[in-house]
Amino acid sequence: MRFRLAFALTALTTALGAYLAACSSEDNIEDLCGWLGDENNCYRQFYADITTTCGTKGPNSARDGSFLKRDKLDTCVLDGAEGGQVVFDPPLDIATDFPVTTASFAMIRGDGTICGAAAFGSDGAMALSVEAVSVDENGIVTPLGDGGLPDSGTSCVDSTDPICGGSFSVKPVTEREIVDVTCSTATRKESHRFNRLQLAKCDGTKDNAPDEANVAALFPRAEFESNPGGVALEGYVLFRVFFPPATGELEGAQPEVVEYFRCRIPSAPNTCANGVQDEGEPAIDCGVLCGKGCCNSDPCYINSDCESGVCSAVDGGMGIRRCIGDGPICTPPAPAPDAGTDGG
């Protein structure tokens, strides 16, 4: 199990650059609008093959789950009788990773088999892989492994009732908005290079491009929402992918949303409201672990500890960093009374 999980995550993170050799130069740019409007493009075929495998269709449809500990965001246990997990590798760090800009994870079924894996980057990079399986009349799922991928000698389309797996990725490769798109399914394996600036010609409104289809909304993209929460407030992470409609006309169509999980993050501990500077708090009852920014002049460890978002360099050789910038100047909270006193 650990070997298969490690293999899946490694395959996904490397998939973002796996087909660069197929594109000879940055000038080998294809027609993005034409590809998006092609009813047989490989992104649409990928969605038609996997449908909602590992996820659920529609906004606000994601399966709920929970991380067990706020300071260890590595495994999200999914709710419901079917069970399952989302395993993040590397784990998310509540102190440094929020808002989340990059993540990679595997989606595990309740029986321990890998459903798929994904990777996401804030620069528009994304990769999604779904393992091919066969499903018998009793609903028993059997992974097909490499049998569901091209050039393996056995296609998942030959199975009784298969889910044809495969992978899809988008990787920005230059500052000129050049992206590589790769597809690998049971029936096709291909790569393309596009310039995202062409999307301006794909919205059907440009006078200088009257023949371009209105398909800009169908460009492949993923979203990873994240909120660390705070005291008495749960946080969450949510992953969704936008696909072209599997059937029907693409001209003017809106993407279909598939959501894969919404994992709750436990709220910050009550120690964040006890008038004491507890472990992990740079100042009394504030800092990123408490979900409350510290005030200007308060000590801090990282920028996220501060309401202003700016933690200074070491202060005057004293070895202390402090919040600076546009944050509030607060009256320090009264310290908690000493143990054994009545506070009077």
DSSP 20-78: GGGS--TT----HHHHHH-TT-HHHHHHHHHTTTTSEESTT-PPEEEEEETTEEEEEEE
User: What is the spatial distance between Cα 230 and Cα 238, in angstroms, rounded to a whole number?
Assistant: 17
Question: 255-303: per-residue pLDDT in tens?
Answer: 999 999 999 999 987 888 888 898 889 999 999 888 889 999 899 999 8
Considering 232, 265, 298, which residue would you say is the last residue of a domain? 265
- Shared domain for 293 and 311, answered yes or no, is yes
- Shared domain for 185 and 232, answered yes or no, is yes
Question: 147-156: per-residue pLDDT in tens?
Answer: 444 444 445 5
> Does the pLDDT value for residue 235 go beyond 70?
yes
189 or 213, which is more confident: 189
The pLDDT of residue 338: 53
- Shared domain for 184 and 303, answered yes or no, is no
Number of domains composing the chain:
2
Considering 231, 265, 299, which residue would you say is the last residue of a domain? 265
Point out the least confidently predicted range of 77-91, 93-107, 147-161, 215-229.
Answer: 147-161
Considering 265, 292, 313, which residue would you say is the last residue of a domain? 265
Region of 248 (left: φ > 0; alpha: ψ -120 to 50; beta: rest) is left
- Shared domain for 82 and 116, answered yes or no, is yes
- Shared domain for 260 and 281, answered yes or no, is no
- Shared domain for 261 and 291, answered yes or no, is no
- Shared domain for 179 and 248, answered yes or no, is yes
Q: Considering the entire predicted model, what is its pTM?
A: 0.73
The token pair at 74 is 């590595």
Residue with tokens 């700016």: 310
- Shared domain for 257 and 278, answered yes or no, is no
Question: 166-178: per-residue pLDDT in tens?
Answer: 899 999 986 668 9
- Shared domain for 244 and 305, answered yes or no, is no
CB-based contact 166:130 (threshold 8 Å): yes
Residue-range definition of the domain harbouring residue 64: 2-265
Question: What secondary structure letter does DSSP report for 91?
Answer: E
- Shared domain for 116 and 220, answered yes or no, is yes
- Shared domain for 85 and 223, answered yes or no, is yes
- Shared domain for 224 and 339, answered yes or no, is no
